[in-house]
Amino acid sequence: MAGVTIENLRKSYGDIEVMHGVDLNIEDGEFVVFVGPSGCGKSTLLRMIAGLEEVTSGTVAIGDQVVNDVAPSKRGVAMVFQTYALYPHMTVFKNMAFGLMQAKTPEDEINRRVTQAAEILQITDYLDRSPRNLSGGQRQRVAIGRAIVRDPEVFLFDEPLSNLDAALRVQTRLEIKRLHERLQSTMIYVTHDQVEAMTLADKIVVLRDGYIEQVGSPIELYTRPANQFVAGFIGSPQMNFFDADDCNNANASGNITGVRPEHLTQVKSKGLISGKLELVEQMGEFALVHLSTPKGAMFSAKMPLPPTEKLGETLEFNANSDDLIHLFDPQSGLRISE
């Protein structure tokens, strides 16, 4: 097993730089999630670690070895692709064994490893089938199995769940988590889904436009986002932001106030923020209410029960505690620490 060290990593396509000097340290055995909106460079970063994308400058090291010029198969990494990328003309067994066959591994060793991986993933019954006779979830297991049999130092997952339906996604997410507990390998996981990031990661790396915005544990990112972008990206529903003159925050002094919808409570008297009721979404366990500030900005609040007020009436809200009010610089977007 090994950690991954990335130093001043840059990537350009022609004149366009898409990765602007990224530094990152991934500990041995850590589960790291790269998260960010489309085009933020998270997949590019992963593919540079895999060796599928050339490094323009800077270094990628796996363990102690700089792997910039090492072939993907020699880096000790295995990748699970979003589209599964199984070989359609081979059986499940052969799909999993293919890499070992290329490395001229002895046949009984191949059998042992494939059988073992198949048992872990409960796909032993499908070993003779071809991928086209499997469901999406089963295919994804085969793709994970293909990675496991190679016994890599680092697992790379490129949005592995995005082709699965919602229920299966939750289940497979759990299985990946369990797999990490079991194998204790370093895992790097790319997703644009912040729920996946929060639930899976030991450490989340938030990327935007080829820069790292913040690195930290899920709870750190949730409670102390480094800037407005991270604050808005992590957490669902999204954090609300209010201009200084649009809310009743005495400490704002010209800065942007941020409060998560789940940290707002309705009050009778004049509160931190008042809003006109626009829409109520009944979720069952809670109601998500959408409101507009006096200046017309939209925000939302999570309420245990739908409000008794009618649409168009004004509601008052306070934050549950002052610790839950975040302040951001309106120019740079950076967090202002209290």
Partner 1 sequence: MTDKQRDILKNRIAVFFAWVAALAFFFPIFWMVLTGFKTENQAIAIPPLLFFEPTLENYTEIQSRMNYTHFAMNSIITSFGGTLLALLIAIPSAYSMAFNTGRWTKDILMWMLSTKMLPAVGVLMPIYLICQKFGLLDSRIALVVIYAMMNLPIVMLILFNYFREIPKEILEASRMDGTSTLNEIRQVVMPLAWGGIASTALLSIILCWNEAFWSIVLTTTEASTLTAFVASFQAPEGLFWAKVSAVSTLACAPIVVFGWLAQKQLVQGLTFGAVK
Query: Which member of 23, 54, 57, 87 binds partner 1 (CB under 8 A)?
Result: 87
* Residue 29 binds partner 1, judged by CB under 8 A: no
| Strand 273-282 with 314-319, pairing | antiparallel
Instruction: Render 119-185 in DSSP notation, one character per residue.
Output: HHHT-GGGTTS-GGGS-HHHHHHHHHHHHHHT--SEEEEESTTTTS-HHHHHHHHHHHHHHHHHH--
The residue range among 67-75, 106-114, 179-187, 287-295 that interacts with partner 1, by the rule CB under 8 A, is 67-75
- Cβ neighbourhood burial of 199 (10 Å; 0-12, 13-18, 19+): middle
Query: Interface with partner 1 includes 88 (CB under 8 A)?
Result: yes
Q: Which residues contact 284 (CB under 8 A, 6 or more apart)?
A: none
Binding to partner 1, residues 250-309 (CB under 8 A): none
* Residue 194 CB-density burial (10 A; 0-12 exposed, 13-18 middle, 19+ buried): buried
Give the nearer residue to partner 1 in terms of CB position, either 132 or 310. Answer: 132
Binds partner 1 by CB under 8 A, chosen from 102, 253, 308, 331: 102
Task: Figure out which of the listed residues 32, 35, 62, 86 binds partner 1, where binding follows CB under 8 A.
Answer: 86
Instruction: Report the residue from 16, 71, 166, 250 that binds partner 1 according to the rule CB under 8 A.
Output: 71
Q: How far apart are CA 262 and CA 300, in angstroms?
A: 9
**Residue 4 binds partner 1, judged by CB under 8 A:** no
Choosing from 26, 45, 67, 79, the residue that interacts with partner 1 (CB under 8 A) is 79
Binding mask 119-138 for partner 1 (x = CB under 8 A): -------------x------
Q: In the set 48, 77, 188, 289, which binds partner 1 (CB under 8 A)?
A: 77
Single out the residue of 264, 204, 195, 283 nearest to residue 235, CA to CA: 195
Confirm if 338 and 224 have CB atoms less than 8 A apart. Answer: no
Site for partner 1 in 137-176 (CB under 8 A): 146, 150
Interaction site with partner 1 (CB under 8 A): 50, 52, 71-74, 77-79, 81-83, 85-89, 98-99, 102-103, 132, 146, 150
